[in-house]
Amino acid sequence: MEILKAVPEDAKDIYSIMMTAHSLLKDKGWYCVDTEDYVREHIENPSKGIVFKAVEHGETGAFFLIHLPGADAGNLGTYAGLKGEALLRCAHMDSMAVKPAFRGRRLQARLLAHGEAYLSSSRSYLFGTVHPDNTYSLNNFLKLGYKILTTTQKYGSLPRHILYKDISISNYGE
């Protein structure tokens, strides 16, 4: 399994994985679906973020979208009390999904760790949101050292834990 940077031609397939993952959930509130344009924007525009894909034998089995919020009002860094320049060093570990045939291979944790390593030279603060009942995703974040800052309503009043990790104190690349 290789983890590669997505290219614009991957947007449709990544969106399809997203839609499939959402369709299989009993509680649709666990996963918010973005648009194909949002995915493509994060592939094509490095100032918006980056998308990684996990590929085996030419098939994309999972993806991970990282959003760089900048000074946007929705920057999750505000939950940690960050202001000014510190908000510009935040990244949102935004969206990921795994095709059913690729589940059970720790792809979510592997993609998160890959994203952290990629961001380690340019970002200090990582944030994510997870539905409180989604123990699989929550445990993946917690095992990688994320902490729950708070639980609030996001995405149209859905409950979410706001997760946080400071990677400026990590030892990436050493």
Within 10 A of 137 (CB to CB), how many other CB atoms are there?
A: 20
| Per-residue model confidence (pLDDT) at position 41 | 97
With respect to residue 82, please indicate whether it lies within any of the assigned structural domains. Answer: yes
Mean pLDDT over 65-84 rounds to 94
3-state secondary structure of 31: coil
Give the predicted TM-score (pTM) of the model: 0.92
| Per-residue model confidence (pLDDT) at position 169 | 66
The model's pLDDT over 27-47, given as tens digits with 9 standing for 90+, comes to 887 888 899 999 999 999 999
Report whether pLDDT(157) > 90: no
Q: Which among 52, 56, 77 has a CA at the least distance from the CA of 65?
A: 52
- Residue 164's domain spans which residues? 2-169
Number of domains in the chain: 1
Whose tokens are 């510190």? That residue is 86
Report whether pLDDT(152) > 60: yes
| Per-residue model confidence (pLDDT) at position 118 | 93
The model's pLDDT over 96-107, given as tens digits with 9 standing for 90+, comes to 999 999 999 999
Start-to-end C-alpha separation, the chain: 24
With respect to residue 163, please indicate whether it lies within any of the assigned structural domains. Answer: yes
With respect to residue 174, please indicate whether it lies within any of the assigned structural domains. Answer: no
Report whether pLDDT(156) > 80: yes
CATH number for the domain that contains residue 159? 3.40.630.30
With respect to residue 46, please indicate whether it lies within any of the assigned structural domains. Answer: yes
With respect to residue 110, please indicate whether it lies within any of the assigned structural domains. Answer: yes
With respect to residue 69, please indicate whether it lies within any of the assigned structural domains. Answer: yes
